[in-house]
Amino acid sequence: MIDKTELTHVVEQAIEGTDLFVVRVTVSRDNIINVDLDSMSSVDIDQCIMVNDAVLAAFDRDVEDYELTVGSYGLTSPLLVPRQYEKNMGQEVEVLTRDGRKLKGVLTAADDNGFVIEVTTKVKPEGKKRPELVQVPERIDYDNAKQTCVVIKI
């Protein structure tokens, strides 16, 4: 079986100096390899071919046969790594937390430990009869986010 750590290292070397980053590398028991890439701008076919060629050069198919797919991580797929959160700042996201809450708001900040979304909430100001809608920042650690997806507006 192809070593996932070694494979990831080869992919990271291949994309060094570009704005590409690795989202996910999977290797099945049957040596089916999937490399999902993203970028702060876009991922084009030539970049995928470059990574594909680097993997083919590093792992001899005559020694160990494998199936390889290198592609762009899907637009509608959940965010998985901190750089994806950075890329999508200012976008509306929907978050399902591990404690079962479903939050929707604008992604305003992200760091190595978590992210912040601005959630619209009803708050009753003191001295007023009716609640008002206000933007409240909600900090979520990556470990507490079960799934985060960008809301696609058509």
76 pLDDT tier (thresholds 50, 70, 90): confident
Q: How confident is the model at residue 26 (pLDDT cuts 50, 70, 90)?
A: very high
**DSSP character string of 31-89:** -EEEEEEEESS---HHHHHHHHHHHHHHS-TTTS--EEEEEEPPTTSPP-SHHHHHHTT
Residue from 50, 29, 148 nearest 95 by CA: 148
Instruction: Say if domain 4-72 classifies as CATH 3.30.70.
Output: no
pLDDT reading at 75 higher than 90:
no
Q: Do domains 4-72 and 82-150 have the same CATH topology?
A: no
Q: And the tokens for 45?
A: 């076919």
Provide the percentage of residues in the chain whose pLDDT is more than 90.
87
Q: What is the mean pLDDT of residues 51-63?
A: 95
pLDDT averaged over the chain?
Answer: 95
Residue 86 above 90 pLDDT? yes
Specify the fold of 82-150: SH3 type barrels. (2.30.30)
Distances (CA, A) of 132 to 102, 112, 120, 138: 21, 33, 10, 18
Q: 70: pLDDT confidence band, cut at 50, 70 and 90?
A: very high
Q: How far apart are the first and last CA of the chain?
A: 43
Q: Where are the domains of the chain?
A: 4-72, 82-150
For the stretch 88-115, pLDDT in tens is 999 999 999 999 999 999 999 999 999 9
Confidence of residue 12 (pLDDT cuts 50, 70, 90): very high
Of 103-112, 129-138, 139-148, least confident by mean pLDDT is: 129-138
Q: Which value, to the nearest 10 degrees, does the dihedral of the CA atoms of residues 130, 135, 136, 139 take?
A: 160
Q: Taking the model in full, what pTM does it have?
A: 0.86
Quick one: angle between helices 45-58 and 4-15, nearest 10?
130
